[in-house]
């Protein structure tokens, strides 16, 4: 049996990255996710698996190091927190325009601007609506436990490489900083160059006699070709929307009311649901695990049965817009949130819920 360990979500990301055979990590320290690079530096994977760990001079540099690594088909990642992820937006848009797979992790803190260093979920829009320019999407995974922060590293890479869409793990200060039990994924060797050539024929690996030159770029001055490229990309987005939606239901089957929350807010809401249930109120919790693709269909289904929905987010109301779009006016959708790094307690959620009863 695999060893059960106790560690922070941030530390789990670092260990999982080494274990799943990542080729490189490029980052710049920022609270509340600095433990990721600290753990990687302490583990020294360059001496064991050969994984590169590099502290870049800024987040702008680290995202372009990721772009470079990804262009050669390598499994590369960067991690940061809200202000740092804002700096990366241009590079993220470029990676999407060049259809490069990579893993990005945002351990969100309060904003806007430098904001605070405490937990927040106010980068939902930035992640799922495109924080940079152009028609693009990021596969966005929202972990709600240390175990999921570990598991979503490999899942993120798999999805990203399968569809050639960058994947964002959207975590927050609560999940990154808390310690919980975790079973780390088993060790998997890094891909050999032969495996890479076979699995990533699109990668810039050096021209050989037997094939055409590969150019990785997001630029094409011919608008007709550019539209074709966009259409092909959009068709992949439709495929992801049709096949990769993930969510978790908690006490939903007989629910008269539904709370919708992701990440740390979902953990808090689960506690609130338990105490509301103890009072005899039939409330359930739906936790989107993929924020894009968004679990809109299941919400539309619940809109047929429940009296109202309440989204609870550590922000001013962002995911609530997607929930409203999904239920299309069938039931009222309310929002409760705290901002600036304040994390609501389960009691606050119950009180907010009871206002609408």
Partner 1 sequence: MKEEIIIAGFGGQGVLSMGKILAYAGLISEKEVTWMPAYGPEQRGGTANVTVILSDSKISSPVLNTFDTAIILNQQSLQKFESKVRPGGVLLYDPHGISSPPTRTDIAIYTIHAMDTATEMNNTKAFNMIVLGAFLKIKPIVDIQAVLTGLKKSLPERHHHLIPMNEKALQKGFDVVQKA
Residues of the shown chain interacting with partner 1 in the complex, contacts defined by CB under 8 A = 4-6, 31-32, 116-118, 173-174, 177-181, 264, 267-268, 270-272, 274, 341, 343-348
**Residues contacting 347, CB < 8 A, separation 6+:** 272
Quick one: 27 or 341, whose CB is closer to partner 1?
341
Closest CB 138 distance from partner 1, rounded Å: 27
Quick one: 233 or 267, whose CB is closer to partner 1?
267
Closest CB 268 distance from partner 1, rounded Å: 4
Quick one: 23 or 151, whose CB is closer to partner 1?
151
Closest CB 302 distance from partner 1, rounded Å: 20
Quick one: 22 or 116, whose CB is closer to partner 1?
116
Closest CA to 171 of 191, 190, 146, 195: 146
Tokens, residue 332: 């009222």
Closest CB 311 distance from partner 1, rounded Å: 17
Give per-residue burial for 90-113: e unless 16+ CB within 10 Å, then b: ebbbbbbbbbbbbbbbbbbbbbee
Closest CB 42 distance from partner 1, rounded Å: 11
Torsion of CA 15, 261, 352, 109, to 10 degrees: 40
Number of Cβ within 10 Å of residue 160's Cβ equals 24
Packed helices 346-355 and 263-278: angle between N→C axes, nearest 10 degrees: 70
Tokens, residue 18: 């080494």
Quick one: 91 or 110, whose CB is closer to partner 1?
110
């Amino acid at each position: 049996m695999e060893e059960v360990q106790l560690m922070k979500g941030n530390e789990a990301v670092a260990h999982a990255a080494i274990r799943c055979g990542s080729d490189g990590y490029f980052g710049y320290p920022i609270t509340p996710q600095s433990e990721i690079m600290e753990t990687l530096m302490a583990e020294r994977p360059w001496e064991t698996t050969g994984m590169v760990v590099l502290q870049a001079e800024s987040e702008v540099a680290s995202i372009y190091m990721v772009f470079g690594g990804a262009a050669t088909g390598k499994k590369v990642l960067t991690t940061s927190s809200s202000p740092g992820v804002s700096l990366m937006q241009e590079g993220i848009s470029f990676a999407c325009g060049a259809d490069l797979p990579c893993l990005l992790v945002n351990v969100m803190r309060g904003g806007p601007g430098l904001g605070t260093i405490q937990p927040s979920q106010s980068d939902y829009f930035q992640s799922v609506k495109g924080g940079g320019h152009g028609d693009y999407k990021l596969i966005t995974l929202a972990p709600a436990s240390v175990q999921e922060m570990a598991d979503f590293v490999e899942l993120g890479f798999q999805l990203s490489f399968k569809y050639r869409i960058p994947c964002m793990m959207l975590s927050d200060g609560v999940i990154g900083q808390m310690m919980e039990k975790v079973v780390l994924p088993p060790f998997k060797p890094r891909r050999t160059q032969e495996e890479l050539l076979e699995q990533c024929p699109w990668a810039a690996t050096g021209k050989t006699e037997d094939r055409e030159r590969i150019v990785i770029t997001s630029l094409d001055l011919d608008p007709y070709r550019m539209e074709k490229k966009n259409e092909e990309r959009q068709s992949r987005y439709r495929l992801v929307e049709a096949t990769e939606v993930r969510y978790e239901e908690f006490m939903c089957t007989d629910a008269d009311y539904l709370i919708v929350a992701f990440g740390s807010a979902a953990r808090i809401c689960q506690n609130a649901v338990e105490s509301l249930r103890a009072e005899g109120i039939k409330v359930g919790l739906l936790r989107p695990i993929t924020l894009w693709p968004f679990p809109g269909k299941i919400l539309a289904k619940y809109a047929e049965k429940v009296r109202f929905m309440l989204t609870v987010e550590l922000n001013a109301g962002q995911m609530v817009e997607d929930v409203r779009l999904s239920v299309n006016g069938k039931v009222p959708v309310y929002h409760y949130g705290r901002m600036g790094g304040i994390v609501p307690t389960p009691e606050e959620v119950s009180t907010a819920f009871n206002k609408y009863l």
